[in-house]
Chain A
Amino acid sequence: MAEPAATPAAEPVLEVIGITKRFPGVLANNDIHFTLTRGQIHCMLGENGAGKTTLMNIIYGLYQPDAGEIRMNGRPVMIHSANDAIRLGIGMVHQHFMLVPQLTVTENIILGNEVTQGPFLDRRKAAAQILALSERFGLEIDPEARVGELPVGARQRVEIVKALYRQASILILDEPTAVLTPQEAEDLFKVMHALVEQGVSIVFITHKLKEVLAVADQITVLRNGEVAGVVAPEEASEASLAALMVGRAVILQVEKAAAHPGEPVLSVEELRVTDERGHTAVNGISFEARAGEILGVAGVQGNGQTELVRAITGLMHPLSGRILIAGQDVSTATPRQITELGVAHIPEDREADGLVKPYPVVDNIILNSYYRPPFARGIVMNEAEAVKQATEVVERFDVRTPSIYAEVGTLSGGNKQKIIAGREFSRPIKLLVAAQPTRGLDVGSIEFIHKQIVAQRDQGVAVLLVSAELDEIMALSDRIAVMYRGQIIDVLPAAQADRETLGLLMAGVHPAQD
């Protein structure tokens, strides 16, 4: 195990000494030591459920450790609440957004820290301060915009400005890039470098090894709640990091044989869909997905992919056009009818659509098959069958949970996704619609989900894979459709698709046209 390779001049601003945290049935953090030095970008890596978020929540005062000590600038500190953390200059951008969508950017940022003039909010002063901050660090935001209407990348900037507004000198970013486009991620890295130059120290959590190697000054890898290693990026490679995280060699490449496409399972004809606000999101799309092939849909997020998926799965009704699944017109079918045709759906927003967080694992596993045998006869449910199924899925998909009765909300992101995948893959299907299936997953889990998707394909399932990760699209797809502004501007065989071509297409540039 490598020793912390801190440069001699670096002064530690935050030291975590022997932190241990136990949840019912899980040892989330076990005697963790961790040092953050001034102006450092410290990457925290680890499998899903390794305990990264838990450790950060402890530093941010949201959880109390069972044992251990936190020191700032060499002095032990007691952090009993987020307020304490903020007072000590710690800011955190959570894995899930914590902003109030109904309020404006300014209101969100000053919430809990209001600038007042007499009894009134001094909005103008606050807005000026926020603008100054955003200019200083190159964080583009509009103080008057309503947060609910901002794209994710902008929301994240708001969260960062919020932390800076409260004068954070230590910034914790918990998987900020999971929801960002590659371009937005690049912008974020620029901001991070600007922050570091001005003396802010950053803890950066991500599952993307490329990013780690690109931005980290130091890397701490957690495994099963323990520190598995502390390495400098110069000494590390993607493969070595992956191995350190998972404890075995990980195959980062997807192994798959050539596809044998059969009959079309999904046909979309001249589809038009409007988004929730009534704007045209899908603007006349036609394509086919065949049995035994993976059709990747690439594109910068927000180009109509979400609405396309929602229309195909019955969660939105198209404005015009047709959707055929296995020869049946499902343009106005309900989600239930579509599921019963043999369609599996891994939804883009797993927290909002795919899971019921207060439910135990077992209820989430039968979430869309609860009404049919063997899980129910008539209206009476058969608990034993559900338990059997859940036990099987948890076992087969290696879901790390204290039991099948644990609340899904307490599981780590990757394990939540495994529950969804396990649920969708354990019934016979003809079509798999997978939207961002590996968002927020660790390399081991990604490997696993990818294998499962390829296995489904090999069994003759048609797969529609929507992903913002170009690497994922290129690794899995047999054909790639690129969406831009609600239209498919090209479909290419995977063999002809390289990063550059796809990148241009995603930006709306069609090389063949000029």
Chain B
Amino acid sequence: MAEITAETHQSQPRQPSPGRMPRNWSEIGSRLVPGLAVVTAMIFGAVFMVAAATDWAAARAAFSADGVGGFISEVRPGIGRAGIAYGALFEGAAGLGYVNPSSIRAETFYVTLLPLGERSLVFIPRNLIDTIVRTIPFILAGLAVALGFKCGLFNIGAEGQLYAGGLLAALIGFHPAFRGLPSLIHIPLAVAAGIAGGLLWGAIPGFLKARTGAHEVINTIMMNYIAIRLADWLIKSREPVIMLDTTASVPRTPFVAQSAMYPYLANTSLHFGLFVALAAVWLVWWFLYRTTLGFEIRTVGANPSAARYAGMSVSRSVVLAMALSGGLAGLAGAGEVLGVQHNLSPGFFAGVGFDSIAIALLAKTNPFAVVPAALLWGGLINGAGLMQVRADLSIDVVKIIQAFIVMFIAADQIVRALWRIRARRRGEEVVFARGWS
């Protein structure tokens, strides 16, 4: 990889260049690494699709018969399919598509942006709205993990904290004791319960870390198991019935009362949770960068011994960061129950908590950057369905792309090498969380 650094050295004229204003590609590129990781992952995903869609035996035969031309003609359909797949992925995610309007289902509302003969450039608002709805929990849970990273903590427990929050929010939402409350009280109550659940679920590993030094990775994983099993039992148990809706054909809790549901924007599925999430982004940023508690958390994350020297309580910051991180995840869980599903079923959050780790990494733990990162995730997941239909590809292709993104973020040297961005200088590397010692 030594040659990566070559270009600036050799191609520059050997003179002092005092005011060389735009710093070189390395400096600009360093900031673009997350974006480039996504682009690279998409390219890799495309290669994967082409590879999967091509009949390699036929391609080899064509190559020996007609040379490169024959080979290309065998591979071309695969490339076309990858194109269709990404087109569909984008259409499903952002609502922008280049399609024959007659192929759009009759009940779907769309706007023709540019009539171009048989196919047109159309905008289907519903797709974008669905993407945003899917993005909401990712924003909150991604923020949760990012906040932990700021304190040098690796909160793998967002999944469990989502359940803890979702369970309590659902309970307050459907329990007869709370029926008849006005929305103005019922919603905040359910939300507060959700936050409290996540808070508790995050604070416990935080407390264990502060008190005994037990590593939070281990304990948040344990807490995940406990939460998932607990939800399973609470929701499924028939003897006694605890949170099960006995009238339902599948195991789930009863529906929450109308008064506990998040309001919707107009007649869409876009719910109040979006504002909650965006407010949380700002609040987390403000908390981290404008308050003494946030300053403490960041200092503990950056250099715990300097934090101790400066009179900060490392254990207090650890507990606080884990609790707030859990609270955010709990809020995400509450939002899904109150805004989307209106009940809770055992496997409801499967994976959201883990995806949020990827989102926090993609955002480089920056609270504002969590929004686009979460939107990307929401888009990929929401667009996957249409992609599957149009290109006849498994939905898992999206999982592969996501995996590539995570890999390129974690091993950003690969991205730097591919895009000729000079290696990090010593000390520049981002430390998200510390190791075991």
Contact = CB atoms under 8 A, between A and B. Distances in A.
Given A81-B5, A363-B295, A352 B303 contact: yes
B393 to A, nearest CB: 41
B305 interface: yes
B5 A355 contact: no
A20 B14 CA distance: 10
B305 A381 contact: no
Contacts of B293: 379
B311 A335 contact: yes
A3 B280 CA distance: 65
Interface stretch (A64-72, A162-170, A498-506): A64-72
Interface string B170-205: 000000000000000000000000000000000000
A368 B299 CA distance: 11
Contacts of A83: 2
Interface in A380-409: 380-381, 383, 409
Contacts of B299: 356, 359, 367
Contacts of A357: 302-303, 427
Contact of B305 (A68, A353, A368, A380): A353
A458 B305 CA distance: 32
B306 A352 contact: yes
Given A80-B6, A354-B309, A367-B310, A380 B302 contact: no
A63 interface: yes
Contacts of A347: 309
A360 to B, nearest CB: 12
A335 B305 CA distance: 12
Given A62-B425, A368-B311, A379-B291, A81 B2 contact: yes
Contacts of A383: 290
Contacts of A78: 6, 9-10
Contacts of B302: 356-359
A10 B13 CA distance: 32
Contacts of A380: 290-292
Interface stretch (B15-23, B62-70, B85-93, B255-263): B15-23
A355 B2 contact: no
A354 B292 CA distance: 18
B185 to A, nearest CB: 28
A383 B437 CA distance: 35
Contacts of A68: 14
Interface size bracket, A side? 35 or more
A129 B18 CA distance: 48
B5 A64 contact: yes
Given A335-B311, A352-B306, A367-B299, A66 B427 contact: no
Given A64-B8, A84-B2, A380-B291, A20 B16 contact: yes
Interface string B289-332: 01111010001001101111111110000000000000000000
A189 interface: no
B291 A355 contact: no
A370 interface: yes
A381 B295 contact: yes
Contact of A69 (B14, B308, B427): B14
A487 interface: no
B305 A67 contact: no
Contacts of A81: 2, 5
A334 interface: yes
A485 interface: no
Interface string B1-45: 011011011101111111010010000000000000000000000
Given A22-B20, A62-B425, A335 B309 contact: yes
Contacts of A368: 309-311
Given A63-B425, A335-B308, A356-B299, A381 B14 contact: no
Interface of B: 2-3, 5-6, 8-10, 12-18, 20, 23, 290-293, 295, 299, 302-303, 305-313, 422, 425-427, 437
Given A78-B10, A80-B2, 7 more contacts: A18-B14, A66-B16, A356-B299, A363-B295, A367-B299, A379-B291, A381-B291
27 contacts: A18-B14, A24-B23, A27-B18, A64-B8, A67-B12, A67-B15, A80-B3, A83-B2, A315-B308, A315-B309, A334-B311, A335-B308, A336-B313, A339-B311, A345-B309, A353-B309, A357-B303, A359-B299, A359-B302, A368-B309, A370-B292, A370-B295, A376-B292, A379-B293, A380-B292, A381-B291, A381-B295
